[in-house]
Chains A and B, each alone.
Chain A
Amino acid sequence: MTQSTTYDAIVVGSGISGGWAAKELSEKGLRTLCLEAGRPIDPAIDYVEHVPAYERPFRGMGDRRYLERYQSVQRRCYACDEWSGKFFVNDLEHPYTTPEDKPFAWIRGRQVGGRSIMWGRQCYRWSDLDFEANERESVGVDWPIRYADIAPWYDHVERFVGLQGNPERLPQLPDGQFQTPWPLNCAEARFRDAVRARFGGERVVTNARVAILTQPLGGRQACHLCGTCERGCATFSYFNSVHCTLPAAQATGRFTLRPFSVVHSVIFDPRTRRAAGVRVIDANTRQALEFRARVVFLCASTLESARILLNSSTPEFPNGLANASGELGRNLMDHIMGGGARGVVPWLADRKAIGNRPGGFYVARFRNVKARHPDFVRGYGFQGRAFRDGWSRGQSGEGLGADFKAALIRDPGPWTFRVYGFGEHLPSPSNRITLDPAIVDAWGIPALRVECAYDDNAKRMLKDMVVTASEMLEAAGATEITPIEENNPPGLVIHEMGTARMGRDPKTSVLNAWNQCWDVPNVFVTDGACMTSNANQNPSITYMALTARAADRAVELLKRNEL
């Protein structure tokens, strides 16, 4: 037996994109239902950022046996620790397959707020260098939008998010609506100046642009510098759905949030050629339910949104809903991460920073901005910080006895730099997801087969990251420079994008310039699935801007009776 309830809009997912869809659609007058597959979150209970290590059973080392058994994939993410592990899925309940030679680490959070609870909070605008790249190089398809189309929406979301940053007037990294950032610590400031002296304006070190308040905003307090945002935030200082967008939606009186609602598929009405609603499996009772609405926003995350469409086949769309182009599931990308360097500096040993600032410095993309690089197209940015190891260096360092102990208590150790790159991964139709015919998840929904690998362009970029990071550390006078050259599987960066790309032509893309399915115009996909290329910037702020823009469009079309 099924139940049916009707709304103006259904939003699937309550993470960073779903939260924005919920807020914008409700505020613009639509009775909106948000379906979240996971459990509710109560900040008073679930936020644990102030729980000290000695109150955890393994003092922060993690419940290794549990992790190995139930979170063998999730545990590869740094944030899946003894505090925040509960915000990551149980891998046994969420199976997926890959070819043996193409590992993919799919990092997921299923709860109200999704991964916005433990996201990295770094926000960098894209520029026309990014939006025009596919067309310029004849790679994939052209983006149907340019920077001018999205710029006002970046403004709109950044004002609500609360983003700190330093204006740099770089064409490849546009400035945003910034709160005054925390200053770089003295070691980082010296590094910035040394890089400027050596590389002129070519390589620019700036403050990390992070969605963390330095001034109060909309009832949220300025950050109190405890440093572990991925565990929650008692003062609501960093941006997430739970304490920002969902309460705003709730305040309209038109919003309903339904946790434990696993969306199975979209219901297609062949008579109107529109979506009629969605099929849901109640996560606790396993009851099949149906919810109906005039418009559906898929914001379930890149792979989950595409999975829902793939699982919504009809006689009209035998290969997945809205897949007349055959592009649904294709062109999966993730940034390539893990090239860079570490180094120790001999200076400023008598100076330290006070406060656990979550965020360090950022080096804006400098490859293929002006001069063309001979080895690869596109580029990368660096995230980094300067820190002092404190007592933890005693775990592997030499020494014992009273002097050893006293030094670990008194002396924070030398300033150490870590400069870590994130580079672009070109879209390719062979990097794709399909439904695995043999495997279902804990709710009986077909699981995904993920086939994705980095191309040679990305691998050459990773090698260049090692060289340029080392050069910058050397310019700053670092010693003991150690290259970082990791071999991470795609997925682990958690910037997965593509699988339902936007484009200008329904024959070669799934979504139009408004994130609207060409084939089923009342279905919008506004999470990472929509991305036509992946640039090198952390993508969440772009999902937020595209979501707000698409919601505005959807409401306008509804008013004109054009959906």
Chain B
Amino acid sequence: MIPLLYKIFRIKLPTNVLEEKALDIQANAESYVQKQIGYLRIHELERSATTRIREKCHNDYIYEEIRKKLLGTNELLQYGQTTYILYSDFLKETLVASSLLQPFSNAVEIMMYITFIHIANDVQLRLFIENSSKPVSYLMDNIENKSLKVILQDYRRMRNLAAHTYQLISIEAAQSFILRTYENIQRMELIINPSEDM
């Protein structure tokens, strides 16, 4: 991320100020992501999903293909948040390309794989392993959970916006999209680890 920040700021600022600004942006992003999802222990969820797949999948190639889809939620969010802060707080842009939101959409997708692997029964998981090239959202449709249905419809629309259209959107709309990303990830964690009744 820092090289990108250097590239953008080089025109305006001397190197030492540049470095300070770049580090500030990165620190702000890390702290924000931590505040939103730090309590979820995403890395542990990624690890336990990987372990369950390893137990059920005996084909090393397929296992490796699935494993790659289960890692990087936190990193993607930090990357996306850094980019967002760069454009909103430092460059003071009022419009951004919707593709800037792609890391957030990808993070939700990874979390969907993680959630599916945690909550799927053995039959559903075997079907997933046998059809590992199919999008997880396809298999999620068959799981009866009202929260998941809401997340799925959100995810499909967000993915279309971030990945399949070029559209300039307001920085406020981008922020709203980002907040919904965190909300959906928080929802999925609640599906994996339901809290005791209130």
Q: Is this pair of chains taken from one and the same complex?
A: no
- Using a CB–CB cutoff of 8 Å, the interface residues on chain A facing chain B are none
